[in-house]
Structures are given as C-alpha cells and as structure tokens.
Amino acid sequence: MTEPADPLHAPLRTDEGRAGLAALLAAPGRAVVGLDFDGTLAPIVDDPADARAHPAVRGVLERLAPLLGRLAVVTGRPVEQVVELAGVAQLHRLEVRGHYGLERWDAAAGRVVRPELPPGVEQVRRALPGLLLALAPDAAVEDKGASLAVHTRRTPAPEETFERLQAPLAELAEAHGLVVEPGRFVLELRPPGADKGGALRALADELGDPSAVVFVGDDLGDLAAFEAVRALRAGGTPGVVVCSGSDEVPELLQLADAVVEGPAGVASWLTALADALGTPEHPNGAPVPPA
C-alpha cells in the first residue's frame, strides 16, 4: 500500500477531528494526548505476556513527550507492566495511568500511586478457578493484582466461550462488588469507580485549559475516553478520536474521527504528528537524532 501524501491529515474524516488537530498543532504545549496500549501501541498476540510495543513506538513517544502538555499511556494493564512492555522506563515526561485510571505512576516519587483494593478482588480470585473449571476449563486467567482478566482467545472456540462466560462472570463480579470490563476475547473483573474517560479528563484538568485533547484506542474499554473527548468538545475544548482499526471491534470504527490500520498505523500517525511538530513553525520541535 502506498503511503498517503499527508499521513497526519489524510485519515481525518470529520470537521471536528480536523479542528481538533489544528488546535493541537497551534498549541502543542497545552495539548493532551492519551494512548491505549494493547491493540493500539502493541499488536495483539495470543498470550498477553508476549505483547510488546510496535518497534517504532518508543522512539516516537520520546520525540512527542517533551512537545506536548501531557502525553500518557492510559491502559487496562497495571502501570509497571506497561512501562516494561512498552520499553519506556526512562522516558522523561511520559505519564502512565493503569487499571483504567485506578492507579498512576508518580515519576517524581518513583512509585505507583494506587488506592486500597476492595476485598472483592481477593474473593473473586478465590472463586474464579472453580467457576472456570465448570464452565470453560481452557480459558486463561491473567491475574493483574487489582483485577482478574479471563481470556478466551486461546480456547478452541474463543467467541462461543466468551459468550458462555459473560453472564456467570457478571454475576460473580456483582456478588463481590466488582464490575466486568469486556474486551477483545477478554472479560475482566475489576473494581468499579474508574474508567479511561475519567483518566483522560483528569489529565486535562491537571494541565488546565488544554488546547486540544486526543485519544487513540481500539477496544470497548476505550469508549469512555472516546466519549470524554466528545464531551470536552461539546464544552468548547477541541479534540480528536483516533481508532486503531481491527476486524475484532468493528463497532468502534464509526465512532472515531480517524481510523488507522492497527498499531503500525498508530505508530505512523504519531510519527507524522512528531514530524509536523518538528517543522520551523514549531521551533520546539523534536531534536534531530545524531547521524
């Protein structure tokens, strides 16, 4: 496939999205950019432990972080895991919000800030093996500390197993004060009270009067952030919603201002953004790497 002439603007198909990008380019130092991890920065793989950021991601985050008001990975994973899988441990000014905004990396203190977990997490941890043994013994549990994710991708019938587990896992979660977060062949039982929309709004509030708010995501758990961008737009803050497109979550495609082709497309779009911010109109542009 040939690259579009203007890879930054070409994917945008709405006037609101174009206005959001223009506002970001006009004042990048007051812009917020939030990025999901799995399926957006990292290609989807069968085993969550094998997920790694697309090879171009670390470099482009390094270029963008000093140019933007806030650049953050907003993920359903624990903070430390994403810092490791994205290879961004030393990355100055990159923020990471984990567990759908429940926890955050405090770079200054060098530690993760997280609230005390509700007892329901431990109760579900104990009850889950018995329930899965009866209903879907080949489903895999990813214990994320603050939540338990049940994956069906590696079962012989991923979709069917996912559907079979939906109601019983919702009941189990509810009985212990948790909620179910559905995703790409995953049902995650997690504490209530946080979502990616809240995490994105918190980043915008902390910055104060952002010039633009952008979110890039691929999955149902990103919808709250998509909605937050729309709500901010309704309140007068320009914004852009970008979907990392996949056949697995077609419902997101119509909800975005731009659709790019998975994590490779996201990396190219972010690179085009970094390139645009590195032009003479933006004297604070990215440093030129040594030859």
Ligand X SMILES: O=P(O)(O)OC[C@H]1O[C@H](O[C@H]2O[C@H](CO)[C@@H](O)[C@H](O)[C@H]2O)[C@H](O)[C@@H](O)[C@@H]1O
Residues binding ligand X (CB under 6 A): 36-39, 44-46, 48, 51, 75-77, 142, 144, 149, 151, 153, 183-186, 188, 219, 221
Q: Pick between residue 60 and residue 149 the one whose CB is nearest to ligand X.
A: 149
Least distance from ligand X to the Cβ atom of residue 250, Å: 16
Instruction: Provide the token pair at 176.
Output: 């212990």
Q: Pick between residue 63 and residue 184 the one whose CB is nearest to ligand X.
A: 184
Least distance from ligand X to the Cβ atom of residue 143, Å: 10
Q: Pick between residue 65 and residue 189 the one whose CB is nearest to ligand X.
A: 189
Say how far apart CA 183 and CA 222 lie, in whole Å.
9
Phi, then psi, of 215 in degrees rounded to 5: -135, 140
Instruction: Provide the token pair at 56.
Output: 């171009």
Instruction: Provide the token pair at 217.
Output: 């995501």
Say how far apart CA 63 and CA 51 lie, in whole Å.
22
Least distance from ligand X to the Cβ atom of residue 190, Å: 8
Phi-psi region for residue 80, left (φ > 0), alpha (ψ -120 to 50) or beta?
Answer: alpha
- CB under 8 Å to 265, separation ≥6 — which residues? 11, 244, 245
Q: Pick between residue 142 and residue 275 the one whose CB is nearest to ligand X.
A: 142
- CB under 8 Å to 255, separation ≥6 — which residues? 223, 226, 241, 243
- CB under 8 Å to 182, separation ≥6 — which residues? 166, 188, 220
Least distance from ligand X to the Cβ atom of residue 252, Å: 12
Assess contact for 226 and 241: CB atoms under 8 A.
yes
Least distance from ligand X to the Cβ atom of residue 44, Å: 4
Alpha carbon 116 to its chain centroid, in Å, reads: 23
Q: Pick between residue 44 and residue 79 the one whose CB is nearest to ligand X.
A: 44
Least distance from ligand X to the Cβ atom of residue 279, Å: 31
Least distance from ligand X to the Cβ atom of residue 158, Å: 8
Q: Pick between residue 4 and residue 55 the one whose CB is nearest to ligand X.
A: 55
Say how far apart CA 164 and CA 180 lie, in whole Å.
14
Exposure on the CB side of residue 194, measured as CA atoms within 13 A: 22
Say how far apart CA 77 and CA 144 lie, in whole Å.
7
Least distance from ligand X to the Cβ atom of residue 222, Å: 7
Q: Pick between residue 67 and residue 189 the one whose CB is nearest to ligand X.
A: 189
Say how far apart CA 241 and CA 277 lie, in whole Å.
19
Q: What value, to the nearest 5°, has the Cα angle with vertex 47 and ends 41 and 124?
A: 100
Q: Pick between residue 21 and residue 42 the one whose CB is nearest to ligand X.
A: 42
